[in-house]
Amino acid sequence: MTQIKAFAKRMDVKIDDLSVNAEANWQWTPTGRIYETAPKSFHLDVLLESSSPLKDQIALIQAARKRCFVEQTLGQANSISHRIRTDTGLMAVD
């Protein structure tokens, strides 16, 4: 929503109302008494009320999605590391 609002001004798209509904679909696999998860997909419904032409609204959403840090992060494989605090400092947890 932040990128849509930011780019709407630059692209001259009028926003009367805006909300986004997000759905995350996850796979989970039991492993003993706990489980492991993996994302399967994300679905975003952009509820945009605007008097601007539909083609301009679509162009706005396309521009915003390419520049959204969260969407770009979720859309690719990422490296995530963990550390734990110890008496001597932070230690990597593999």
Distance, in Å, from the CA atom of 85 to the CA atom of 66, rounded to the nearest integer, reads: 36
Strand partners, 30: 35
Q: Is the pLDDT of residue 77 over 90?
A: no
Backbone dihedral angles phi then psi of residue 22, each to the nearest 5 degrees: -115, 140
Per-residue pLDDT reduced to its tens digit, 43-56: 999 999 999 999 99
Q: Is the pLDDT of residue 70 over 90?
A: no
Region for 32 from its dihedrals, namely left if φ exceeds 0, alpha if ψ lies in -120 to 50, beta otherwise = left
Per-residue pLDDT reduced to its tens digit, 9-43: 999 999 999 999 999 999 999 999 999 998 899 99
Q: Is the pLDDT of residue 7 over 90?
A: yes
What local confidence, expressed as pLDDT, does residue 25 receive? Answer: 93
What local confidence, expressed as pLDDT, does residue 60 receive? Answer: 97
